[in-house]
């Protein structure tokens, strides 16, 4: 399974080190958010990796919803219980909940299809910041704190028509930003396609924190810093 380098499992316990999380963010998701860097002051495991972990361990259902409830730190012991129903939580060994998962419909356990779905779904994070979030911030004349940029997932959801695919592409069809003081709520709606045909739809919601009035020079610097991190 392609995800195995990015977490360690022993019996029903999963541990994700800061290095594993950072490698996944950069190598699989193309996500260079500094919060996923090893040694970051507010380090957290990417939501995309928790999403991928659930699909790897529990399978791909036709309808799934993921609600993030906490930020997973370096080497937190997560419990992966084998016996779960269609509404379950990912918790640590102290019963703190980080993620709630709801699922319905048929279940796919094919490694090839799970890998194809995960790679396409999380790779979208690699284009989020520059091509989606920055234009939305410009449109609303706001920006995140350039000194401590914080963008986190709130939820993900998707619905698949069928599992008849070996590869998949994700296309953004609508995006919005709602500003409430220093908080911004982003909603991204997309289509899932395979061989040119729509096979499903999905939604991601994100939270932007520490919003303030847009400063063009600082937002340009953020873009340059983000792009520069891809080649360092």
CATH code of residue 160? 3.10.129
| Confidence bin at 213 (pLDDT 50/70/90) | very high
Which residue range forms the structural domain that includes residue 185?
4-229
Sign of CA dihedral 135, 138, 140, 142: positive
Q: Is the pLDDT of residue 232 over 80?
A: no
Helices (H), the chain: 18-27, 47-58, 111-123, 125-128, 134-139, 216-229
The Cα 25–Cα 32 span in angstroms is 7
pLDDT of res. 214: 96
Rounded to 10°, the helix 47-58/18-27 angle is: 90
Residue 34 has pLDDT above 90, yes or no: no
Rounded CA separation 124/14 (Å):
25
Total count of domains within the chain: 1
Give the integer Cα–Cα distance in Å for 62 and 43. 32
Model pTM? 0.92
Q: Is the pLDDT of residue 117 over 90?
A: yes
Per-residue pLDDT at 230 exceeds 80: no
Contact 151/41 with Cβ under 8 angstroms? no
Helix, strand, coil share of the chain (percent; to 5): 30, 35, 35
Query: In this model, does residue 125 exceed pLDDT 80?
Result: no
Q: pLDDT at position 181, please?
A: 96
Question: Quick one: what percent of the chain has pLDDT higher than 70?
Answer: 98
End-to-end CA distance of the chain: 28
């Amino acid at each position: 399974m392609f995800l195995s380098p990015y977490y360690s499992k022993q019996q029903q316990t999963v541990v994700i080190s800061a290095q594993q999380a950072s490698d996944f963010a950069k190598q699989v998701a193309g996500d260079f958010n500094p919060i996923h860097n090893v040694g970051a002051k507010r380090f957290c495991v990417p939501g995309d990796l928790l999403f991928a972990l659930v699909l790897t361990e529990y399978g791909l259902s036709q309808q799934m919803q993921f609600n993030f409830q906490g930020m997973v730190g370096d080497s937190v012991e997560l419990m992966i219980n084998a016996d779960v129903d269609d509404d379950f939580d990912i918790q640590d060994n102290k019963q703190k909940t980080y993620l709630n998962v709801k699922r319905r419909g048929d279940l796919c356990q094919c490694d090839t299809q799970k890998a194809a779905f995960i790679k396409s779904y999380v790779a979208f994070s690699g284009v989020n910041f520059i091509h989606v979030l920055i234009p939305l911030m410009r449109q609303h004349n706001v920006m995140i704190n350039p000194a401590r940029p914080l963008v986190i997932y709130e939820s993900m959801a998707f619905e698949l028509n069928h599992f008849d695919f070996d590869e998949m592409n994700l296309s953004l069809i609508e995006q919005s930003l709602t500003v409430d003081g220093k908080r911004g709520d982003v909603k991204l709606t997309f289509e899932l396609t395979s061989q040119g045909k729509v096979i499903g739809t999905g939604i991601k919601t994100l939270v932007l924190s520490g919003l303030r009035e847009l400063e063009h020079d600082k937002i340009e610097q953020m873009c340059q810093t983000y792009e520069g991190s891809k080649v360092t």
